[in-house]
Structures are given as C-alpha cells and as structure tokens.
Amino acid sequence: MTEMLLRYFRTKQKEAQTEKIYDTQCPFCSMQCKMQLIEQSTVTRKKYVTVGKDNPTSEGRLCVKGLNAHQHAVHTERIKYPMLKVDGEFKRISWEKAIKIIKEKFTTIQDNYGKDALSVYGSATITNEEAYLLGKFARVALGTKYIDYNGRLCMSAAASAAAQTFGMDRGFTNSIQEIPHSRCIILAGTNLAECQPTIIPYFEKAKENGAFIIVIDPRETATTKLADLHLKVKPGMDAALANGLLKVIIEKNLLDEEFITKRVNGFDDVKHYVSTLVLDEIAEISGVPTEQIIKAATVFGKEETGMIFTARGVEQQTDGSIAVRNFLNILLATGKIGKKNSGFGAVTGQGNGQGAREHGQKADQLPGYRSIENDEHRKYIANVWGIDEEELPRKGVSAFEMIQKMDEGEIKGLFLMCSNPVVSNPSAEFVKQAIEKLDFLVAVDMFVSETARLADLILPTTSYLETPGTMTNVEGRVTLREASFSIRGEAKHDWQIICEIAQALGKGQYFSFSSPEEVFNELKEASRGGIADYSGITYDRLREQKGILWPCPDDDHPGTERLFENQFAHADGKAIMVPVPIAPEIPKEKPNQEFPLYLTTGRVMSHYLTGVQTRKSSTLAAREFESYMEIHPSTAEKYQIKDNVLVKIESKRGSIIVRSKWSKAIRKDTVFVPFHWADSQNVNRLVSKKLDPTCRMPGFKVSAVKITPVAN
Ligand SMILES: Nc1nc2c(c(=O)[nH]1)N[C@H]1C(S)=C(S)[C@@H](COP(=O)(O)OP(=O)(O)OC[C@H]3O[C@@H](n4cnc5c(=O)[nH]c(N)nc54)[C@H](O)[C@@H]3O)O[C@H]1N2
Ligand SMILES: Nc1nc2c(c(=O)[nH]1)N[C@H]1C(S)=C(S)[C@@H](COP(=O)(O)OP(=O)(O)OC[C@H]3O[C@@H](n4cnc5c(=O)[nH]c(N)nc54)[C@H](O)[C@@H]3O)O[C@H]1N2
Ligand code: SF4
Ligand SMILES: [Mo]
C-alpha cells in the first residue's frame, strides 16, 4: 500500500508543473513587439510558449517569427563557452584565456601596423547601451577610426536622405497612431505585411476609414493586397517614378504654395528640372504606365492628408539616398509633413535599427547623432568620456569599405559583434576571401555563423531573453526590454564583454559599468543637446510611460510624437528640396544580351536576415526550408525553367543554385531571391560592389543575371 502511494505521489510530482514568466521584446524586427516567455517545467522536461504583451506600438500582437523566437534562443547549438580555433577546430577555453589572447593579438597588431589596423563591426540588433559602448570602445579602448555596423546595409540611405532634407533622421515623423487617419498612403519598396506584420492593422484601419493606398513594388506581395493602386515599377527606377509623380503634382497645381514659401528651400530648382522631363518617357523608363502615374499623383496631391513610407526596395540602391529624397520632395511640395496625419516613415529594419544609428557606431558619428568631424561635438563627447579631444580618432569608412581595406591588407584585425557579413554583404565570395586575410578575427555571437566559422576566437553572448536594455523601435520610441532568463553556460552580455576587454587593454576606468542602466545614464549625458536627445529618459520613466519618443531633452519633457510641426532641423528652420536626376551618378546594371534579367532580393515572412537564428527554429525553418527564385511563368518557359526545379543564377560576380517558384505576381523582366540562406544559396554572391556615393549603401535590389536549368 505505502509502496503504491509513494509511486502515485512520485508520478504526481513529476507531472506537477511550475510556471515561470519572463518579460522581453522580440529579437527580430523594428516593431519590437513586447512579449512574455512562459516556461512550464516538470521534473522531466521544460516547455516554452511565447505570448504577446500589450504596448503602444504592437498592441499585444505577435507574428509567426515572434511566436517562435524562443526556439533558437533555447537551441542546443547556442555557444556556451569561449572557443579558440586550434588546427582548424574550435576548442573550449576559459574567459580568462580568451581575454588574454585578445589583449596579446590586439596589442601586437597595433604595435606593428598602427592603431587603425584594428576594426570594429557592430550591429543594430544590440541594445542602445551596447551600441553606445561599442562606439566608445573603438574610439577610447582601441583608438581606431575603423568602426561601422550592419545598419549601413540597412538604414543608411533613408537616414542620409532625412538628415539632408529635414536636418534630422527619426524613422517615423509621426506617431504610429496617426496612420489610420491619413487619407492617402504611399508604400514605396516596403513589404510591411511580411517584414513588420504587426503594423498592418494600422493600415487596415486606414483603409476602413477610406484611405487610398498606393504600393510601389516590382512584385505582388502580401502588402500589395492592401493596395488600391499597385505601381509595378522596374527594379531601381523609383527615383524616376517619383519625378513623374512630382511632375503631375506640379503641372496640375496640387501644391501647397504657402507651405513651400514658408518652410522649404529649393522648390524652384525641382520645378524647373521636372518641367524638362517627358511623362511618357518616365513611364517607359520606370515601367509604370502614364495613367497610373497620373492617378497616383492626383490622389496623393488632392487628399487633405497623406503619408509616404519607404523601405529597402527604394533604399538599397546605388542611388538609394537620392531616391528617398525624391519621395520627400513629394511630401514637401504637397505640404504633407509636420502636420497631423501627414508625414514620412522610413521603415526601420532591425530591432534597434533606429537607436543603433544614433549613438556612435557609425564611421563618422558620435553619440546623440553628433558628428565626429565637428569640433564642438568632439569637445562635448571627449568631456563626457573624460579624455582629450585630440585622442578621439577622426571618421573612418563604411562597412563594406572596411572589408575592402581587409582585402587590401590595411586592416589586420576585426572585432565583430552581432553580424554575419559573409552572408549579408554584396559580392559575398570577395567578402569571405577578404575576411580570411585577417590576422585575427574575434566574433561575438550566439551561434557559429558563417562568419564566426572563419574566426580565430568566438565569444558566446546572451540573447533577447537574457539581456536587458533599451531598444528604439520603428516609431522612434525608446523602449525598455526587461530580460531575466537564465544565462546559458558561460555566455556573457555584449556590454560585459566590451567592458572586460577594455579593462584588459588598460582602459577599464572608462568602462566601469555594472549594469545596462549605468551605461544608459552615461548615454543620456552623451546625447544631451544632440539631435537624438535622450537626456530626459530614465529606466523608471520608460517603465511608467511604456516607452518615450525622442527627442526628450529633460525630465519633465513628455517626448516628441510629431516632428517638424513648426520648423525643420536645419539652421534656418527650412527643409531642402533637390532635383533628382533620372540618370544616377553611378549607373545601374541593366539587363543585356548576356545577363537578360533583373534580379532583386529581399525577405520572406518566416526568416530573418542571414537566417542564422530563424534557420535554427524548427517551426520557422519548416515553413521555408530552402531558398528559391520567384519567376513569372512566361519568362520561365522562355528559359526552359520548369516549376520547382533547380536553377543556376549567374551574374558577373558569381553564381548560385536555388529552386524555381513560378508566380504571376512578379514582373516578367525580373526574378526575386530572398537572402536568408548561405553558401551556394547565398544570393549576395551575385550582387556588385558598387555603393551609393552619398551613404555607401550597396545596390542589393538590382543586378543583371542569366538563368539556366540545372541538369538532373
Ligand atoms: N520576415 C522578415 N522581416 C524582417 C526582416 C527579415 O529578414 N525577415 N528584416 C528586417 C530588416 S533588418 C529590414 S531592413 C526590413 C526590410 O523590410 P522591407 O524593405 O520591406 O523588405 P525587402 O523584402 O527587403 O524589400 C521590400 C520590397 O521591396 C521590393 N523591391 C525590390 N526591388 C525594388 C525596387 O527597385 N523598387 C521598389 N519600389 N521595390 C522593390 C521587394 O519586392 C520587396 O517586396 O525588414 C525587417 N523585418
Ligand atoms: N541581398 C541582400 N542582402 C542584404 C539585404 C537585402 O535585402 N538583400 N539586407 C541587408 C540588411 S537590411 C541587413 S539589416 C543586413 C543584416 O545582416 P547581418 O547583420 O549580417 O544579419 P544577421 O543575420 O542579423 O546577423 C546577426 C548575427 O548576430 C547574431 N546575434 C543575434 N543576436 C545577437 C546579440 O544580441 N549579440 C550578438 N553578439 N550576436 C547576436 C546572430 O546569431 C547572427 O549570426 O543584411 C543586408 N544584406
Ligand atoms: S518579427 Fe517583428 S512583427 Fe514579428 S513579433 Fe517580432 S517584432 Fe513583432
Ligand atoms: Mo535591415
């Protein structure tokens, strides 16, 4: 009897569940949806479920990536210890040894080749605190000018367009709550429905309220389903198309003359330039019929309010920054900015795509969106950091140009935090070879990514479940990510790793932080008086107010929902319009006899960037387990490509092999390949090295290619 009872209680005990709940934010896109991980444990096993949590931006919604994000975070392949490459194999070592090796290697490289022989490559997935510290680490601990980050491949075109036009760059000029009340919305090169899915209800509400939605994309996507008018533009022709829209707006006199006079410089030059263009020629060049250009321009011009959103379709071009400026020209000409329900949205990509572009990870930048070449700015930051201004390096070069310097042998060492450049940079084979030339590569990651594979030393870091800190979301809202999940093995937070290496390099006094909040308190001071002013923000306020939109310059300031209501951020308070030439400074590849098709690249719903994380998630990987090429059936037949077969795609740079997917949704002159897969499926093998002359963005969205069936 007692035996039976005992057994009964033991089984009960095994089944008894304890439940723990962890707050966090999704590790993926810029919506930064608040979520909770529920851990249900019995004696024998642990089960995880992710649920959404209410907040002002995503309102408790999650998409399929967020719902399954924990699958990679608790994956058995997470790196748990520092790992040193010995005879081509990674071997576990202690932190003590790892830091000692870094110190030795970094010192030797800098002694032999100078300070700038070391470089730092950061990320917009890390927190504001970590992005800030990484910039400080490069300048103060290493004393190198070479630092840049993956946001260069992401937000740089939109950022430079907004900075040049308005004098400041915050993704959304208005709060997200205004979207449902805007009367006409242009979505240019953005696939929100797959890339920021939880934002979609705002646009659905706008539609219910009668808004007219125009989507510009060479493909039909989940987002074009929202469209009242879909302009199926030729890849790379957005700047030309925007000229067409402007021409109609000016010729039909749909202008806001008062706004132009009071608040804009440069309108006459734009007016003169577009008057020299012929609308039918623009239609020909852009692939959008004249009537559709007229329709879009007329509706946008006539409606009382309007918004334009751009994303990587327009921006990841060798004329990306100027193409965005042409869309901003439309907003300025029609007076649809700085007003309720009218404004601009550069749809930020990565989780901290906004904050990580503000606090000093960029080659030419100091915290608070300050410039490293501006004497006042240098003095201010040197003072906050407690160093002499002369000790601060000058500006370096962009992400891809750093890789070119690795190839040329000028950069010998790289500290890589939270990025996978071997997959994400253009001309991927070149990038791999350049990185292989380094004397010493340290990669800080959660997994052995394709780039970490090439490292001499990998340092294990913590995930979104484990690292607290602030993230600035798609709106420009600073949010506090609470995170308290238990750390795997000996992994450390990115900010801790930075501080420990700085300490070993004898710079510990500048990096004596014991929590993200302490780092934030310094970041606040460093941002004070800058364009991205966080100085009125505290962790307590973020908890109470559920996030604050910057600028927030003092403790009583509520944050700024709408920008530019009275003035723009240039010295004279005015915005600047510029004519945007149809023929860009760097000519784009056009299909030709040898390479007859356009290739454009982008994303699918279930994967994230280079796929290192989402390919580890069984649910997400099952939805899309390999790369593919979307192709129109009539084009496919012309090149004897059946549906669902392997195809070789070649450009001047290289080739890949992926599976064909027939679809009438795409233009007949274009094929589309997502970039979430590596090695022989890495579409970046095909993309050229050319960069936008202003912002140094690669032209990910246009290559000329040929396709051939792969024999069975
Ligand atoms: N599911 C998912 N969501 C993500 C990400 C992800 O990897 N997966 N990444 C996040 C990040 S970092 C970013 S930057 C954002 C990116 O978000 P988006 O910019 O929306 O994503 P993309 O798919 O790169 O490109 C958007 C659209 O541009 C179109 N396009 C291609 N060429 C052109 C062109 O020449 N002109 C125009 N007008 N359109 C063109 C493509 O067909 C595509 O539908 O998404 C974020 N969210
Ligand atoms: N052809 C083509 N190429 C593109 C694009 C495109 O549209 N087409 N888009 C570009 C864009 S917009 C972007 S943003 C880039 C992104 O390019 P990458 O930055 O290279 O992409 P990720 O996959 O985010 O790489 C992040 C790495 O950091 C690791 N990681 C994740 N979280 C953390 C963390 O908290 N700390 C640390 N230390 N590591 C972490 C992940 O495991 C992964 O290995 O790709 C660009 N490349
Ligand atoms: S991927 Fe973006 S939309 Fe989806 S849950 Fe994460 S943050 Fe939200
Ligand atoms: Mo991005």
- CATH number, position 270: 3.40.228.10
Could you give the CA distance from residue 32 to residue 30 in angstroms, rounded to a whole number?
5
Domain membership flag for residue 63: yes
The residue whose C-alpha atom lies closest to atom 2 belonging to ligand 3 is: 29
Residues 193 and 256 in one domain: yes
- Give me 314's structure tokens: 């327009």
Number of domains in the chain: 4
The residue whose C-alpha atom lies closest to atom 26 belonging to ligand 1 is: 190
Ligand 2 centre and the CA of 352: distance in Å? 12
Ligand 3 centre and the CA of 195: distance in Å? 8
Q: Ligand 2, from 120, 424, 493, 684: best to mutate by most atoms within 8 Å of Cβ?
A: 424
The predicted structure's pLDDT at residue 13? 66
Q: Helices marked H in 479-605 — which ranges?
A: 494-502, 516-527, 539-545
Closest CA to 682 of 421, 445, 343: 421
Residues 513 and 643 in one domain: no
Cα 443 from chain centroid (whole Å) = 20
Ligand 4 centre and the CA of 709: distance in Å? 31
Which ligand 1 atom is the nearest neighbour of the CA of 65? 1
Ligand located closest to 469 CA = 2
Residues 60 and 205 in one domain: no
Ligand 3 centre and the CA of 136: distance in Å? 30
Could you give the CA distance from residue 678 to residue 451 in angstroms, rounded to a whole number?
10
Ligand 2 centre and the CA of 420: distance in Å? 6
- Give me 442's structure tokens: 């340290």
Residues 380 and 462 in one domain: yes
Residues 38 and 131 in one domain: no
Ligand 3 centre and the CA of 472: distance in Å? 14
Ligand located closest to 449 CA = 2
The predicted structure's pLDDT at residue 1? 53
Residues 251 and 217 in one domain: yes
Domain membership flag for residue 619: yes
Which ligand 3 atom is the nearest neighbour of the CA of 58? 8
- Residues in the chain with pLDDT values less than 70: 1-2, 13-15, 712
Residues 189 and 268 in one domain: yes
- In this structure, which amino acid lies at residue 118? L
Say if ligand 3 is within 6 A of residue 63 CB: yes
Ligand located closest to 350 CA = 1
Residues 302 and 386 in one domain: no
pLDDT digits over 306-347, tens only?
999 999 999 999 999 999 999 999 999 999 999 999 999 999
Residues 207 and 273 in one domain: yes
Which ligand 2 atom is the nearest neighbour of the CA of 423? 20
Could you give the CA distance from residue 321 to residue 677 in angstroms, rounded to a whole number?
27
Ligand 2 centre and the CA of 609: distance in Å? 5
The predicted structure's pLDDT at residue 601? 98
The residue whose C-alpha atom lies closest to atom 11 belonging to ligand 1 is: 349
Quote the percentage of the chain above a pLDDT of 90: 96
Could you give the CA distance from residue 712 to residue 709 in angstroms, rounded to a whole number?
9
Say if ligand 2 is within 6 A of residue 699 CB: no
The predicted structure's pLDDT at residue 453? 98
User: Which structural domain, as residue segments, surrounds residue 628?
Assistant: 597-709
pTM of whole model > 0.95? yes
The predicted structure's pLDDT at residue 4? 76
Say if ligand 1 is within 6 A of residue 197 CB: no
Residues 377 and 523 in one domain: yes
Residues 172 and 91 in one domain: no
